[in-house]
Amino acid sequence: MFSIYYLIFTRVIFVRIPDYALYLLLGIIGYNFFKDCTFSAMYSLHSKASIIKKVYFPRYLIVYSSTLTAFFSLFANFCIVLTVCFIIHGVSPLVFLIPIPVICLILFSAGVGFLLTILYVHFRDLGQIWDVLVLAIFWITPVVYNIDALPESTQIIVFLNPLARIFMLFRHYLLYDYFDLRFLLITIGISLLIYVVGFYVFRKYQDQIAEYI
C-alpha cells in the first residue's frame, strides 16, 4: 500500500510535503489500525456467540481483546517506523509525546468499535456499509495528502475528523518538531468523548446481546 501511494503521489501527482515517505507511512499505519480495530470489534461478538450464550461475563472484554490484538500489529509497525524516523530524520525533542496520540488513536478506535459492535448485532448489513464508509474515511483523512493544501473552509471540516487530528499529532512530534497545546487538548477531549459514548452505549445494551446473536 505504501509503495503504490508513494509512487502515485510522487511520480503522477506531485505532492510537495517534506519527508513525504515518513509522512505517508505514519498515516497508513494509523489508518490500518483504525480499520483493523473497528472491523475486528464489529465482528467480535458474533464470532464468540457460542461462548456468550453459555457463560455470562462482561461482554466488553471481547471487544477489548479484539482491540488488543489490533494494537500488537500497531506496536510492531510503529517500532519499525520509529526506527526509520530516527535513522533518516533524527530524534525529535517531542518524541516523548508520541504515546499521547497513540492513546488517542486507541481510545477513538475502541469507542467507534463499541458502537459498531452493538449496531452489528441488530443490523448484519452494517459490515458491507462499514466497508464502504471506512474507504471514505481514508480519503477524508489526510493520510496521503497535506491538509494545508486544502481551502481553509475545507480544513475546518477535515479537522472535525478525530483521525485527522491524531495523524497530525504523529507528524508534528516525529517529523516537524511542532507543538500546539490547544490542538492537543482538543484532540484528547474528542477521542475521550468518543470512547466514553461508545462504551456507555455498549454497557447499556450488552445484556440484550445474547438474544440477537
CA atoms 148, 154, 158, 159: torsion sign:
positive
SS3 79: helix
Cell of 103: 492513546
Average pLDDT in the 184-209 region? 91
Task: Give tens-digit pLDDT for 47-98.
Answer: 776 777 677 777 888 889 889 989 999 999 989 888 888 888 777 889 899 9
Give the separation between CA 197 and CA 208, rounded to whole angstroms.
18
Task: Give tens-digit pLDDT for 158-189.
Answer: 888 999 999 999 999 998 889 999 999 999 99
Residue 210 predicted with pLDDT over 70: no
The least confident of 11-20, 44-53, 104-113, 187-196 is: 44-53
Residue appearing with cell numbers 453459555: 54
What is the reported pTM? 0.91
pLDDT score of 33: 96
Give the separation between CA 98 and CA 55, rounded to whole angstroms.
39
Q: How many CB atoms lie within 10 A of CB 140?
A: 14
Do residues 129 and 205 touch, judged by C-beta distance below 8 A? no
Residue 213 predicted with pLDDT over 70: no
Task: Give tens-digit pLDDT for 109-157.
Answer: 999 999 999 998 888 888 899 999 999 999 999 999 988 878 888 888 8
Give the separation between CA 49 and CA 93, rounded to whole angstroms.
48
Task: Give tens-digit pLDDT for 28-54.
Answer: 999 999 999 999 999 887 777 677 767
Give the separation between CA 8 and CA 136, rounded to whole angstroms.
19
Residue 194 predicted with pLDDT over 90: yes
Residue 212 predicted with pLDDT over 70: no
Give the separation between CA 102 and CA 77, rounded to whole angstroms.
12
